[in-house]
Structures are given as C-alpha cells and as structure tokens.
Chains A and B, each alone.
Chain A
Amino acid sequence: MIRFDDVAVQYPRAAAEALAGVSLECHRSALTAVVGPNGSGKSSLVRALIGRVRLARGAIVVDGAPAATMDRAALARRVAVVTQREELAFPLLVSEYVALGRYPHLGLWHAAGTEDTRAVQDAMTGAGIAELHDRRVDALSGGELQRVRLARALAQGGEALVLDEPTAFLDIGHEMAVFELLHRLARDGRAVLLVSHQLNLVARFADHMVLLHHGRVVAAGPPSDVMRADVLEPVYDWPLVVTRDPAVGAPALLPLRSR
C-alpha cells in the first residue's frame, strides 16, 4: 500500500542526511512499526510522506503511484496521518475538530453530507471519545486529546493510517487501548504504519518492525528478528537484555543499569 523506495532527505544546513536511503513497505491488513533512537529519522519519514520535506532521492509510492505527483487531497483521502505535535491556538469543540478530518473529502465549499456525518460519528465511537463530542479541545487531558486526534484521522477515512508516536503522553491503560485499536484496524484491512518508542508494545502488536539508525534501516522483519540484544544494543548505545514476555511470549526488552 505505501512503499518507501530508497528515500533520502536532507534538511537545509544539516551536515548529514536525516534519511539516507530508506526502503520499507507497509501492507494492508498489517501493523508496521518504525522504531529507533531519537534523531534516527522516524519523523522525517512521516514528514516526507505528507510532503513537508523534499526528497533528495528516492520515492514514496502509494498504491503504485508516486505520492509526489498525486493530488494532495487524493493522497489525504487514502492515507490519514497523525503527526507528532500539534498545538491548537484557538480551541474547537471535539466534534468540530474531528469533522476537520473530512476536509480532503469536502474541499472548500461542499457542506458535510450524511456520509461525512456518519464517518465522524463512527470515528468518535471507534476511538472511544463519543462522550467527549461537546467538550472544548483545550479542556481535554493529554490522553483524551491523543484519542481525539486519532478520531480525526479515522474520520479522514482511507485505507492507510500513519501515526507518529501516538501514545507519547498516555498512561498504560490509554496506551494499551490505542495499541488494541490500531491492531484491530490492521486486522480489519487497513495498512497501519506506526512510529513509536514503545519497543515492548510494538513487539507484541506489530506484524513487521523496522529499526532505523542514523537515517538507515539497520534491521527489519518480524519482531523476533529485530528485538535482539545484539541488534538493539549498538543502536541505542545502552546495555540491555531481551527476554520473553511472560504473558504472551513476545520478545521483551529490559535495559540494564549503567555500565
């Protein structure tokens, strides 16, 4: 569904490339997770996908068509993206905020139809925030806000969902709820691309993991291939052991005390 083909990105005045030829694929009905230390290029992948940074080389291909040549709204109708940060200067109600997800379907002047209203309602129900619909966005807790942002991406529709650290400010319960939701969306047929620092949860939920370091893919495959001490230790530059999650048997990482 989404293919990054030898994607390279260099920011102005930066010495090194943020992405130095990354190739990865994100399929329908699968949860693909991109992990890596700070500054490894994870968010640059997302920025490249939405066209906020120019590719130095390579291409991002969505369903066989290069994203760079696609109409932006058409791309947004296929791929919904939840970016890492967002700060709303003037608060909207939750329902209004989620409804902005329909922008690529409506454009400038079309009024929201029954299909749009249903998409917004389904998205709010799906993200578990239906009861927040008349709250102001600036009155939400961090966890509620993240789920509201997720709801906006769900309202956007499309077959692919890309999320940049969607559980960054969430407690365990809300974090698990988001991972369960993403897992369910993938099972229902969507291509889910998740950027996350939560290696242990990713190892439990993802079908495919990609480990980035200095803008390059250093390991990729099922979680058992990536979640190995000999792979992760040099990348994170920290001693760690990988054990088995006692509940489900997934690989689990345990960082050790300082050397």
Chain B
Amino acid sequence: MSVLRWTALVLALLLAALVAISVGAMSISPSDIWKAISGGPESVPVLVVRTLRLPRVALATLVGAGLGMSGAALQGTMRNPLAEPYLLGVSGGAAVGAVVATMLGFGTAFVPLAAFAGSIVAVLAAFFVAHTAGSRGDPRVLLMAGVVVGAFANAAIMVVLANAEPNIVRNALWWMMGSVAEGSWPQIAVLLGYLVAGGGVLVVIANQIDVLSLGEESAAALGLDVDRAIQRVFILSSLIAAATVAAAGLIGFVGLVVPHLVRAGGVRRSRPLLVGSAIVGATLVVLADLLGRILRPPAELPLGAVTALIGVPFFLSKLRRLV
C-alpha cells in the first residue's frame, strides 16, 4: 500500500475522532476541543470533552484497534477468513464472568475484571480441551475447542439469567451489546498497555504469521516451530480481545470484517495488515459509536449492533473484491 493510502487511513481516523468529539447533545467547536486537549481553562465544553467525549473516543479507538489486530492475526494464523477475536471462547467466557459478577451484586467497577477473568479462563479451557484431544498446535482442533467452550459458556449464561431479576437481565444484556460510554482514563490506560504490549509483539512476529499462512507443513519446512508459533499468536490475540471485552463488552463483527477491508485495499503481508487493521478497526468503532449516539437521541443504540449494521453492508459491497 502506498504512503498516500496510509496517510489517508490515519487522516480518516483523526477526522472520525474529531467529528465524534464535537458532535453530540452539545456541539463542541474545534477551538474548545483544542483547549481541552492543550490544558486550557475549564469551561462547560472543555469539561464535556475531557470527562465524556475524549475518554469515549479514546476507548472506542483502542477497542477497535485491538479487535482489528486480533482478527488479522487469527485469520492469517488459522488460514481461515472467518476467524475472529472471540474465537477461543473469549466472548462466552467474558459474558459468564460479567453475568456472574452482576448476579452476585458486585459493583460495576468489578464487572470488567470479572469479564477479563472469565475470558482468560475460557481460553485456558479451550487450550486444555485441545491438549487433551492430543493436539496443542492444530488450529482446527483449537477452533473446535473454542466453539465448544463458547457453547458451554452460552448455556451457562442462559441457566444463570433464566432465574435472575429483570434488572439484572437487562444490565447483563446491555453489557453484552457492548459500549464505550463508560470509558474512564484508568481503564483506557490498562487497555492501552495490553494493546501496546500484545499488538507490539504481534507486529514483531508478523513474519511468522506470513509463514504460518502457508500451512503447517510448509511453515515447518521453513524452520518455524509451528506449534509454539500458533499458540503464541492465539494467546496474544485472545489477551488483546479479552482486554477489549473487559473495557467495552462484546462488540462483534469488527475483528471479522476489518482485516478483509484492509486486504481489499491491497495489503497482503501480515505486518502492514496488522497495523492497517488497527487503524481501520479504530475508525470503524469510533464512527459506530458516534452513529449510535446521534441516530436516536437521547437514546443510545448498542455499539455492538451498530458495528454490525455498518459493517455488514460495507462488507457485502466489498465481497466481490475480497474473494
């Protein structure tokens, strides 16, 4: 991809972020945004930017970037265009964690932590299932293990919610639909840490993902320790996905569709694909959150639904170029 296209991608993200910060129940001028960012004196618009809009947009950016990267890494490694970040039971495990925490009456501050713990347990369970099936590195076995763990988690959620109080069901459902509205700076800092560490390692080992995309035998013939390389990508991608889920709930479709959009732009190698998916994923989630806020004010549409509503037509329009 040319420098021009990369610049256009970054500019599109910046523009989306700028629009998302300024548009809403209260319109905010670019000069107020600049004041808020550059440490200007406090005023109502400056406060709105600092405490509401900016954390929200920052969280949306990081969540989108994480899901995009995670999806790109998993699709290449599994050689499967349908692979996505919630593959190894991340979403199911996180939902169980969140629902259980809500049921037990823990405060909202604890829910992200419980979701993160739930998704890590689910990923470990998927690895354990694959291991007992006699295959640690086979992506097909890991995929099946992830599906099985996810199905078990869904069943567990239904059992728990079937007898829950209506407000708990509503809270749990809302969480499962995903939202970046509650973005707080500490939460953003934690997610940024996961993203920089996990995403950074993925970018470093991108050549291995390219080699893995040739298939296990060819990758082994090129001197790669295939099983360990696959495990590494799975663990890193799942960690990133779990961190995004903990911060913003379940936001489907981004990790699945974004890598395809970047590929449709002519990107083939994994390293630029990872970086491109981070940028495009961030842009998509920022725009989806903006749409969710402005379509039916003062109500907000669930972010996970909006990402799918934008993503599906876009995906369909590109489908011919994708295959």
Contact = CB atoms under 8 A, between A and B. Distances in A.
A80 B221 CA distance: 7
Contacts of A104: 222-223
B269 A83 contact: no
A203 interface: no
B215 A81 contact: no
A73 B268 contact: no
Interface string A141-165: 0000000000000001000000000
Contacts of A255: none
A109 B225 CA distance: 17
Interface string A69-107: 001111111001111111111111100100011011011
Nearest to A13: B134
Given A12-B134, A96-B268, A106-B207, A86 B214 contact: yes
B218 A86 contact: yes
Contact of A85 (B210, B215, B268): B215
A203 B49 CA distance: 78
Contacts of A77: 223
Nearest to B269: A96
A203 to B, nearest CB: 27
Given A87-B215, A90-B76, A50 B207 contact: no
Given A85-B217, A89-B80, A100-B214, A108 B75 contact: no
A93 to B, nearest CB: 7
Nearest to A164: B217
Contact of A87 (B79, B207, B208, B211): B79
A76 B220 CA distance: 9
A90 B263 contact: yes
B210 A100 contact: yes
B221 A76 contact: yes
B220 A51 contact: yes
**Chain A interface residue bracket vs B:** 35 or more
Contacts of B79: 87-90
A90 B223 CA distance: 21
Interface string B128-149: 0000001000000000000000
A74 B207 CA distance: 17
Contacts of A106: 207
B81 interface: yes
B225 to A, nearest CB: 6
Contact of B224 (A72, A85, A91, A156): A72
B138 to A, nearest CB: 11
A109 B216 CA distance: 21
B184 interface: no
Contacts of A80: 221
Nearest to A76: B223
B204 interface: yes
B29 interface: no
A101 B225 CA distance: 15
Q: Which of A83, A92, A156 has the most CB of B within 10 A?
A: A83
A103 B81 contact: no
A91 B268 contact: yes
Interface string A102-142: 01101111000000000000000000000000000000000
B222 A156 contact: yes
A103 B207 contact: yes
A162 to B, nearest CB: 8
A190 to B, nearest CB: 16
A244 interface: no
A174 interface: no
Contacts of A93: 268
B81 A89 contact: yes
A100 B211 contact: yes
A52 interface: yes
A90 B211 contact: no
Contact of A88 (B214, B220, B224, B226): B214
Contacts of B134: 12
27 contacts: A47-B217, A50-B221, A71-B223, A72-B220, A73-B223, A74-B223, A76-B223, A77-B223, A80-B221, A81-B221, A83-B217, A83-B218, A84-B217, A85-B217, A86-B214, A86-B217, A88-B215, A89-B79, A89-B81, A90-B79, A90-B213, A100-B222, A103-B207, A103-B223, A104-B223, A108-B208, A156-B222
Which A-B residue pairs are the 10 nearest by beta carbons?
A76-B223, A89-B79, A81-B221, A73-B223, A104-B223, A83-B217, A72-B223, A50-B220, A103-B222, A50-B221
Given A80-B221, A93-B268, A109-B204, 17 more contacts: A50-B217, A52-B217, A52-B226, A71-B223, A74-B223, A77-B223, A81-B221, A83-B218, A83-B221, A86-B215, A88-B214, A90-B75, A90-B81, A91-B268, A103-B207, A103-B223, A103-B224
